[in-house]
Structure 1
């Protein structure tokens, strides 16, 4: 009698969790943590295979009750995901490994970091013509598409209080995205703008008086900037390819006096030297890892890191913190006025915080403070908290002023750079806690 036929059943296991494909079990060198993290791609244009890359970190405790915050880094063309690893993400790079960030924003919120637009970080478009069309409007539309599609697998976060935050050219990205979301009736609670570009002339002329007041340029050079060529004219001529001889002259003198051993992004800090970038951790006298950005670039270029992130390099030989998009992005978009959009958001009920690291020489607090005060006046918002110091662990964390019922506010971070979470993480966490809780900054 022949042996009975052996039947092999193949059983496919399925999961009811649509987020599982994005789950990051562990990053190389990562310490053990209790919260979940996700990363991957959301396709926003099937016809041209355009995909945006995200990194999502649940709150350390009770994520179900914490708000959701979308973070957009500026540039234009710098990676939000990369910035997370030397600013306010859950980890900080340290050589070939990562360590826990004690001042991570996911202590207070569920954090969603988005590489935008395509071409930034791990985000990409296989349509090469796309990069010749990059502008603010396209970026905003793509970011709306991303959010709409991201909320499909992560639908449980739809009912959470929702905020958007960003820095630098995020002063364009964040309000423009928020404006669309408000018009489409999204439940947006507030936006935070760090060292933001809001007005071309005001923000780009502010460095002239800032650099002079910090003894980085001479009285004579400051006089040249006021009478021959100020910074906004210099940038405008550079953008249009019509740099005049007088502006070139003032620019050369300015660069010589500032020195290439000084960073306008943090005028009080040391700079990372090429020889230091190979050291595990190199700290300045202030305790800041001056090579944090260089270490992050090395970490993200590890193959095992990209595998853990479910990431890939498309039309790029290596991962860059700030890549090609900065050269192809519509330069004239920098002149788009944003303050009016911010005012409309305030009037629609969206709470707005503008904050500035007071050691930033790129978009100094001088311009931002002036713009916010004038905006409050135009909106007829009364000053509810007069200009005063705010406190972090019994020390001055910065200065703040609040308008209306905390509808519009401004704050500085004492000692903060253009990326203040990088060198003043404790103070920025206090500011972030106040922002998402709807409170004013502590006075004692």
Structure 2
């Protein structure tokens, strides 16, 4: 029995101990104390202490596995950073990257918003001065199984991966993770993510909201934060096409053919004229970085590799499903991450490796990407449900992303038909216009001027400022 199974079994036993309240006998307090010590010891086993190249920090961080299905042996890998200051007073935020098939550890944690960024040689880490753990306790999850270090011992699980499967496993993960970290069980909680996590995040939020009717399962979810999110297939496709045309990526003629022949609300790809015209859009985007229109492409190993990086996993339109979306912006960063996470000493420090055998880590899985079996055509109905439940919903968009462009998000929000409570206006950071924002009844939408798909890679200080405003529930600064 490997260490993952041993720890998972221990968690199961702890659940039994914590659910059934001991009878009031003289040593009951002592029994509870022993149980708490056992729980805390489970968390301490995941404490990261010797991560190669890590800058010195004053906060603790943990990495390891949570088994979400004992029968099939499904285990999800997480990396958790306590807040840099006053962790007991700050909320818990779960971050998810999309794909589907891409790693929240490889992207979010060590390219975008975590305290450590992988160095360009793949051999070390540098400190991120704009880490979101300045404002919250940050939990990064590699989900579903097959992503990064997450795995299943049952091969048929990989044939059933989809939105519902992912949401259910993420929900199970949270409850079992709280057994390792019981002090966060009643903590104010938010979910954030980007790209295809535009579907993951609302779907998980809806599941939590529905299950919260049972007090024993209650999670104090207050809101969601979504960056360049895939939201509604029809609106997303219209935005991709219109953005490519308005930014001179495609010709007037190609745009006209698509507008006249593509029914994005219906059976889009059965129309061959439409399909050929969309192919022309994708062809032109292959010449540049679709995730960042105005930056250089990476000329190196990653640009031509088959490791599942986003440059390899270009969108398709041969399915009625909306093509899936990767996270990240610089394909060279993908290469640095792959080198770092496939080191034996790194895997050992993160409690991944089992003996001398390395696990093969990739930043994205092409198999998951191509074989995804369940994708909601739109999560706008979930938005409406969450708004009705009183949850805070913020959506932001880097305005130089061609993959989930600002137009796609604007079209999707417009489809909600929400009343405007604060009209379109600039927001400022360090006395400069950072972007524009508009507030609706139940939703805030903001843009980042000059940022691509993974906004924190382009605007780290600005994105931290928006994150802070989101947590406080305050409007973005509209004066210099």
TM-score range, shorter chain: 0.7 to 0.9
Cα contact 1:276–1:291 (8 A) shared by 2: yes
Q: Does 1:93 align with 2:118?
A: yes
Aligned to 2:130: 103
Select 1:360's aligned residue among 393, 396, 401. Answer: 401
Aligned to 1:30: 54
Cα contact 1:270–1:290 (8 A) shared by 2: no
CA deviation profile, 1:72-101 (whole Å, cap 9, x unmatched): 111111111111111111111112111001
What is the Cα-based RMSD across aligned positions, in Å? Answer: 2.4
Q: Secondary structure at the match of 1:85?
A: helix
Count of residue pairs the alignment pairs up:
407
Aligned to 1:284: none
Q: Please give the alpha-carbon distance, in whole angstroms, between the structure 1 residues aligned to 2:457 and 2:359.
A: 27
Aligned to 1:322: 364
Aligned to 1:55: 79
TM-score norm. by structure 1 comes to: 0.86
Select 1:425's aligned residue among 460, 465, 471. Answer: 460
CA deviation profile, 1:346-365 (whole Å, cap 9, x unmatched): 11111101111111111111
Cα shift at 1:20: 0.5
CA deviation profile, 1:370-404 (whole Å, cap 9, x unmatched): 32244252xxxx42221101001111111111123
Q: Secondary structure at the match of 1:409?
A: strand
CA deviation profile, 1:217-263 (whole Å, cap 9, x unmatched): 111121122123477889x64xxxx6x643453244334444x3411
Correspondence list, 1:173-188, <5 A: 173-185=200-212, 186-188=219-221
Q: Does 1:41 align with 2:65?
A: yes
In structure 1, runs of 5+ residues without a counterpart are: 1-13, 278-287
More deviation in 366-375 or 420-429? Answer: 366-375
Cα shift at 1:367: 2.1
Q: Secondary structure at the match of 1:295?
A: helix
Aligned to 2:432: 395
Select 1:203's aligned residue among 232, 236, 240. Answer: 236
Aligned to 1:311: 352
Cα contact 1:388–1:399 (8 A) shared by 2: yes
Select 1:383's aligned residue among 395, 398, 420. Answer: 420
Q: Secondary structure at the match of 2:156?
A: helix
Select 2:296's aligned residue among 257, 270, 286. Answer: 270
Cα contact 2:344–2:353 (8 A) shared by 1: no
Q: Does 1:73 align with 2:116?
A: no
Q: Please give the alpha-carbon distance, in whole angstroms, between the structure 2 residues aligned to 1:127 and 1:82.
A: 24
Q: Secondary structure at the match of 1:178?
A: helix
Q: Does 1:345 align with 2:345?
A: no
Cα contact 2:199–2:379 (8 A) shared by 1: yes
Cα contact 1:122–1:312 (8 A) shared by 2: no
Q: Please give the alpha-carbon distance, in whole angstroms, between the structure 1 residues aligned to 2:301 and 2:195.
A: 29
Aligned to 2:153: 126
Q: Residues 80, 276 of structure 1: CA spacing in aligned structure 2 closer, same or farther, 3 A cutoff? A: closer
CA deviation profile, 1:103-128 (whole Å, cap 9, x unmatched): 11101100000011111110000110
Q: Residues 146, 47 of structure 1: CA spacing in aligned structure 2 closer, same or farther, 3 A cutoff? A: same
Q: Secondary structure at the match of 1:47?
A: coil
Cα shift at 1:165: 0.5
Q: Secondary structure at the match of 1:215?
A: coil
Q: Please give the alpha-carbon distance, in whole angstroms, between the structure 1 residues aligned to 2:196 and 2:106.
A: 16
More deviation in 64-73 or 314-323? Answer: 314-323
Aligned to 2:446: 411
Correspondence list, 1:369-380, <5 A: 369-377=410-418
Cα shift at 1:43: 0.5
More deviation in 99-108 or 176-185? Answer: 176-185
Aligned to 2:139: 112
Cα shift at 1:328: 2.2
Cα shift at 1:368: 1.3
Q: Please give the alpha-carbon distance, in whole angstroms, between the structure 1 residues aligned to 2:50 and 2:477.
A: 37
Cα contact 2:241–2:281 (8 A) shared by 1: no
Q: Secondary structure at the match of 2:66?
A: strand
Q: Please give the alpha-carbon distance, in whole angstroms, between the structure 1 residues aligned to 2:398 and 2:135.
A: 21
Q: Please give the alpha-carbon distance, in whole angstroms, between the structure 2 residues aligned to 1:211 and 1:317.
A: 40
In structure 2, runs of 5+ residues without a counterpart are: 1-36, 213-218, 304-328
Cα contact 1:204–1:232 (8 A) shared by 2: no
Cα shift at 1:214: 0.8
CA deviation profile, 1:404-443 (whole Å, cap 9, x unmatched): 3xx3111111111111111111111111111111111111
Select 1:296's aligned residue among 312, 337, 342. Answer: 337
Aligned to 1:164: 191
CA deviation profile, 1:270-304 (whole Å, cap 9, x unmatched): 11111698xxxxxxxxxx96622221121111111
Q: Residues 423, 344 of structure 1: CA spacing in aligned structure 2 closer, same or farther, 3 A cutoff? A: same
TM-score norm. by structure 2 comes to: 0.80
Cα contact 1:208–1:230 (8 A) shared by 2: no
Cα shift at 1:196: 1.1
